[in-house]
Amino acid sequence: MRQISVQHKPQLEQWKGVLVTSTIIFLWISSLLFLMPTDFTQGASLWILPGVLGRTFIQTGLFIVVHDAIHGSVFPNNHRLNHWIGSLALTLYGFLPYKKLALNHWKHHRSPGQPDDPDFHDGVHPGFFAWYVNFMMGYVDAELRRKMFWFMTIAFLVLRFGLNISGFNMLLFWLLPLVLSSLQLFFFGTYLPHRSSNIDSQNLHNAVSSNYPQILSFFSCYHFGYHWEHHEYPDVAWYDLPGVYQRRQQMKAAIDLDSLAS
């Protein structure tokens, strides 16, 4: 297949990643500040489901920021600031270490769907939940689980007794979105794209892309479903993946048309 041309962005456009990232971080903080102190026993219960779903989607967006920072596309003209933003986003996401995640993610890109891939299943249990548990244990080892426990315990105590936030609100708008977000990211960003049953032997990335319309692609997982395109062009930011996907589809259609004509 002919290569898709991804044009170099002008200098001013490189700030787009910072603007998009700042918006996601702002929404994460402001939604937390709004929902955490709300008294849902006083007629505000209709906010609970939209609050949980909205917080989950924003939580997922926070990880997408981390992912793009690992690939240098949050702020391409300042690598130190780019990775600092990624580290900040990952701390907000779940007190996770940025360097370890970055190292594992680059291992994934070097050998996707192969034994050296830390994101792939163990070769014996390719089912969704077994793969998910194996995936999570690979990133959150025993030492990190202990650290996360103490970080979250301290945060819980400060929120509960220092700021008088209810445990119910912390569960709904902090812990539950974190768990749901990890499932969303795994399902759309690892499980669906890299299931071996979907992949032919000519696919060097061992990845397939979803065929969702753009709006569904965005709400499913910030266009992470355009996964072959991401592996082919890892420095392309998440919001530019639909354009790469469309150009690839147009090129495939042109090749098919040429074949029919010949």
Q: Taking the CA atoms of the chain, what radius of gyration do you get in angstroms?
A: 20
Residue 131, pLDDT > 50, answer yes
Percentage of residues in the chain with pLDDT exceeding 90?
Answer: 63
Can you give the pLDDT at residue 7? 44
Rounded to an integer, the average pLDDT of 161-189 is 94
- Whole-number Cα distances in Å, 192 to 104, 109, 146, 207, 248: 19, 16, 31, 9, 20
- Whole-number Cα distances in Å, 20 to 10, 25, 178, 238, 242: 17, 9, 21, 10, 16
- Give the separation between CA 38 and CA 87, rounded to whole angstroms: 29
Rounded to an integer, the average pLDDT of 162-177 is 93
Residue 1, pLDDT > 60, answer no
Can you give the pLDDT at residue 260? 63
Going by C-alpha positions, the residue among 25, 28, 4 that lies closest to residue 74 is 25
> Would you kindly state where each structural domain of the chain is located, as residue ranges?
12-193
Residue 133, pLDDT > 90, answer yes
Can you give the pLDDT at residue 200? 66
Could you tell me the pLDDT band of residue 140, with boundaries at 50, 70 and 90? confident
Residue 258, pLDDT > 70, answer no
Rounded to an integer, the average pLDDT of 85-104 is 94
Could you tell me the pLDDT band of residue 5, with boundaries at 50, 70 and 90? very low
Can you give the pLDDT at residue 6? 44
Residue 256, pLDDT > 90, answer no
The rounded mean pLDDT for the chain is 88
pLDDT tens digits, one per residue of 35-81: 999 888 777 788 899 999 999 999 999 999 999 999 999 999 899 99
Tokens of 115: 């034994």
pLDDT tens digits, one per residue of 155-166: 999 999 999 999
* Residue that has been written with the tokens 């993946």 in this structure: 241
Can you give the pLDDT at residue 206? 85
Burial class (CB in 10 A: 0-12, 13-18, 19+), 131: buried
Rounded to an integer, the average pLDDT of 77-100 is 94
